[in-house]
Amino acid sequence: MHAPPLVILGRDGILNAYREGHVTEPEEWTALPGALEAVSRINHAGWHVVVATNQSGIGRGMIDMAAVNAVHAHMNQQMMAQGARIDAVFFCPHTPEEDCDCRKPKPGMLREIGRRYGADLAQVPFASDTLRDLLAAQAAGCEPHLVQTGRAAGLDEEQLAAIVQQVPATRVHDDLAAFAEFLLRRGEVDDSASGALNG
């Protein structure tokens, strides 16, 4: 029996507005336009959606676990209001100096998600807004996708080309809604055995 298809998303800059000083309380988690609806579309197409996020603010003492849980409870409430669902949030609490295996760009967190869900990571798209996350996807064997929101919103063609040169399998999308559309269109084509769509 095959495991249900799985999508991994970064959090800040993909689902919600990116903040330089970390999201430290629920009110600071503000959904990006169309992001919740995009997750809903992916859910309704039969995919599990999991978040993988670096949260070094925990290791730096800027936010505690109670606050992290409150932020994610708020996020889940916002999701539910749009008919969307995040199955789980995986996060790395460590600072870069701790040199752990779970902090992206290392692949530990993504590999753990794959183990938990019994997923072949080669079949798992990972959408993010940073080169760091794309490198993690590449190292874990996931399918890398860059959405041009959050930290990727201001990138010009030359900067995008430089990123794709480092992670050649990367597909670029305007935002999470465009990424969702790509997944759904590709799924329709796969179902009809007509080959793969490029996007």
The number of residues making up the chain comes to 199
What pLDDT score does 189 carry?
61
pLDDT at 184 over 80: yes
pTM of the model: 0.91
pLDDT at residue 196 is higher than 70: no
Residues whose CB falls within 8 Å of the CB of residue 56, separated by 6 or more in sequence, listed in order: 92, 93, 94, 95, 96, 103
Residue 199 confidence (pLDDT) above 50:
no
Enumerate domains of the chain plus CATH numbers.
6-191 (3.40.50.1000)
What pLDDT is recorded for position 20? 86
pLDDT given at position 2: 61
Q: What is the pLDDT of residue 194?
A: 36
Write the single-letter amino acid at 161: A
What pLDDT, on the 0 to 100 scale, is given for residue 4? 73
Q: What is the pLDDT of residues 84-109, one digit of tens each?
A: 999 999 999 999 999 999 999 999 99
**Position 70, amino acid:** A
Average pLDDT, the chain: 92
pLDDT at 14 over 90: yes
Q: Could you report the per-residue pLDDT of 140-167, keeping only the tens digit for each?
A: 999 999 999 999 998 999 999 999 999 9
What was the pLDDT predicted at 62?
87
- Residues 23-80: tens digit of each pLDDT: 999 999 999 999 999 999 999 999 999 999 999 889 988 889 999 999 999 999 999 9
Sheet holding 143-147, edge to edge: 88-92, 48-54, 6-9, 125-128, 143-147, 171-173
